[in-house]
């Protein structure tokens, strides 16, 4: 009899599934359109890198050729706690994909039970207060036929969300690497500034000694000595003061590396004379090379899939269930043929009234999709602005650096002339101190411009995606 029922029932289920699947709602995803300029406006006169270096690799900081920076950057992936949190969030998203995909397969439950019961004597057709055993060994199988694509839509939504989480992880990594590089070059700028101040202190000590000798010889006045001492001690104070900023930057780098502030010490070292040439490429490449843009686009895809899930809720759900096993009063005959049983049958769940809940869910899904689309387009606009900002900064700062170099040269010539005039008795020491201050200010300004140029290069590389490609997104 079981064979006859199964043979008569299975074709009906198959035919039903085929027919209703053909009517399943579809929500095809199309990447939102964005307006992309044909070229960066600030890139018109930008110098491209040499042919051997025209590709930005994943370890983009290696373009600066600084071994100390490379060693610090390698520690980000190992110890940074913000990155560890983002990695855990990505792992959570991947686990959610696996959990959602499991709904595509049947659920099998094994629920053995042993019951001893005594029925009421007043129960119809019952033996007065007779206790009995009931041993059951059932296997229950349940399965929802995804005829409207509801489960597949949920799987697609969770997969897109996981890909967005993967891009978020890369965004966090890129931001942390860039923050470390900015802090590092700021630190090196302070080192170079301190080197300038220390050199100036040595020069001013010699000038003070010269002035004191001239005073003892009756050539210079006490006022000249006081001026020389003032300039010297002021410069010494400035040299000490820069240590405050250096310590704060060093502590910030320690936190980025996941270390206590007291556990990191970076030896002072010179900074490069200029940033490397960075190929900016074309604007459309940002859509592939910015992980934050990829994350925003994947969230649009997830919202589109969720809209499909909300649409499928308007259609009936086809549930298939079955059970088989053994049931017997005496335990010894539990596994015999006469103790076997089975059931199988479909169930159609139709929601005839929900007070507008499904329409509200559908409207909500459409609003979420519209919001995700707007966020994606805004992310693209922000990316273009960030790249244009840094291209403009590098172009302008390069011009400013050239002018500042001429100012430094002129200030040094003025100092040399003022010193010679003072030694020849043709000028007062006030003229020397003014020239000394002007030369030091211009030298320190040049260091500040160089630091800004290095940091602008870092931010440009960050704006270009740092060599990351959306093709690396994991497909669960």
- Domain annotation covers residue 339: yes
Same domain, 237 and 289: yes
Residues 296-339: tens digit of each pLDDT: 999 999 999 999 999 988 888 888 888 888 888 887 777 887 87
Q: What is the CATH number of the domain that holds 281?
A: 1.20.1600.10
Q: Reduced to 3 states, what is the DSSP secondary structure of residue 63? A: helix
Measured CA to CA, the distance from residue 313 to residue 382 in angstroms comes to 37
Same domain, 167 and 284: yes
Same domain, 55 and 199: yes
Same domain, 366 and 423: yes
Q: Reduced to 3 states, what is the DSSP secondary structure of residue 327? A: strand
Q: What is the CATH number of the domain that holds 136?
A: 2.20.200.10
Same domain, 10 and 154: no
Q: Reduced to 3 states, what is the DSSP secondary structure of residue 134? A: strand
Separation in Å, CA 321 to CA 24, 145, 343: 22, 11, 8
CA neighbor of 455 nearest in space, from 190, 100, 94: 190
Helix (H) or strand (E) holding 135: strand 131-145
Same domain, 113 and 43: no
Mean pLDDT of the 164-177 span: 94
Q: Reduced to 3 states, what is the DSSP secondary structure of residue 296? A: helix
Q: How many CA atoms lie within 13 A of 331 on its CB side?
A: 5
- Domain annotation covers residue 196: yes
Same domain, 26 and 45: no
Same domain, 283 and 160: yes
Same domain, 261 and 136: no
| Residue span of the structural domain in which 113 resides | 1-30+106-120+130-145+317-350
Same domain, 310 and 343: no
Does position 129 have pLDDT exceeding 70, yes or no? no
Mean pLDDT of the 280-301 span: 84
Does position 60 have pLDDT exceeding 60, yes or no? yes
Q: Tell me which of 404 and 210 has the higher pLDDT.
A: 404
Same domain, 178 and 237: yes
| Percentage, residues of the chain above pLDDT 90 | 51
Name the pLDDT band for 7 (thresholds 50, 70, 90): very low
Q: What are the structure tokens assigned to 193, written together?
A: 């500034």
Q: Reduced to 3 states, what is the DSSP secondary structure of residue 82? A: helix
Residue whose pair of structure tokens reads 């040595």 in the numeric block: 202
- Domain annotation covers residue 299: yes
- Domain annotation covers residue 411: yes
Q: What are the structure tokens assigned to 156, written together?
A: 């697609």
Same domain, 406 and 339: no
CA neighbor of 347 nearest in space, from 152, 150, 148, 145: 145
User: Beta-carbon neighbour count of residue 307 at 10 Å?
Assistant: 23
Q: What are the structure tokens assigned to 121, written together?
A: 């004597």
Indicate the number of domains in the chain. Answer: 2
Mean pLDDT over the full length of the chain: 85
Q: What are the structure tokens assigned to 5, written together?
A: 């029922």
- Domain annotation covers residue 225: yes
Mean pLDDT of the 357-383 span: 93
- Domain annotation covers residue 269: yes
Measured CA to CA, the distance from residue 370 to residue 217 in angstroms comes to 85
Name the pLDDT band for 51 (thresholds 50, 70, 90): very low
Separation in Å, CA 446 to CA 79, 194, 268, 393, 443: 35, 13, 19, 15, 5
- Domain annotation covers residue 125: no
Residue 125 backbone zone (phi > 0: left; psi -120 to 50: alpha; other: beta): left
- Domain annotation covers residue 219: yes
- Indicate the pTM of the whole model: 0.84
């Amino acid at each position: 009899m079981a064979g006859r029922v199964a043979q008569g029932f299975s074709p009906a289920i198959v035919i039903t599934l085929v027919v209703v699947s053909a009517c399943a709602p579809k929500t095809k995803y199309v990447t939102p359109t964005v307006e992309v300029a044909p070229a960066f406006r600030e890139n018109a006169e930008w110098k491209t890198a040499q042919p051997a270096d025209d590709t930005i690799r994943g370890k983009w900081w290696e373009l600066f050729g600084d071994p100390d920076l490379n060693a610090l950057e390698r520690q980000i992936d190992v110890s940074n706690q913000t990155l560890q949190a983002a990695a855990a969030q990505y792992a959570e998203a991947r686990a959610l994909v696996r959990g959602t995909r499991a709904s595509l397969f049947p659920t099998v439950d094994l629920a053995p039970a042993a019951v001893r019961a005594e029925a009421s004597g007043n129960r119809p057709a019952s033996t007065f207060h007779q206790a009995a055993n009931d041993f059951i060994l059932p296997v229950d199988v349940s399965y929802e036929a995804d005829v409207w694509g509801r489960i597949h839509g949920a799987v697609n939504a969770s997969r897109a969300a996981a890909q967005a989480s993967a891009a978020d992880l890369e965004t966090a990594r890129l931001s942390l690497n860039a923050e470390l590089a900015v802090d590092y070059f700021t630190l090196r700028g302070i080192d170079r500034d301190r080197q300038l101040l220390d050199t100036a202190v040595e020069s001013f000590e010699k000038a003070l000694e010269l002035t004191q000798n001239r005073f003892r010889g009756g050539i210079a006045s006490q006022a000249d000595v006081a001026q020389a001492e003032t300039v010297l001690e002021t410069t010494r104070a400035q040299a000490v003061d820069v240590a405050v900023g250096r310590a704060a930057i060093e502590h910030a780098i320690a936190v980025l590396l996941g270390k206590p502030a007291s556990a990191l010490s970076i030896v002072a070292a010179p900074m490069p004379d200029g940033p490397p040439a960075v190929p900016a490429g074309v604007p459309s490449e940002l859509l592939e090379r910015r992980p934050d843009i990829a994350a925003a686009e994947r969230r649009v895809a997830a919202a589109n899939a969720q809209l499909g899930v909300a649409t499928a809720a308007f259609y009936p759900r086809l549930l298939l269930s079955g059970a088989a096993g053994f049931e017997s009063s005496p335990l010894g005959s539990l596994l015999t043929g006469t103790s076997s049983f089975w059931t199988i049958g479909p169930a159609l769940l139709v929601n005839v009234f929900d007070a507008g809940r499904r329409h509200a869910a559908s409207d909500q899904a459409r609003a979420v999709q519209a919001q995700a689309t707007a966020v994606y387009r805004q992310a693209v606009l922000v990316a273009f602005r960030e790249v244009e900002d840094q291209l403009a900064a590098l172009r302008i700062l390069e011009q400013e650096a050239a002018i500042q170099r001429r100012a430094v040269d002129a200030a040094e010539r003025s100092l040399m002339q003022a010193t010679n005039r003072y030694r020849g008795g043709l000028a007062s020491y006030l003229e020397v101190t003014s020239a000394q201050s002007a030369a030091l200010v211009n030298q320190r300004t040049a260091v500040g411009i160089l630091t800004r140029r290095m940091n602008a290069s870092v931010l440009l590389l960050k704006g270009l995606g740092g060599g990351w490609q959306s093709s690396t997104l994991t497909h669960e």
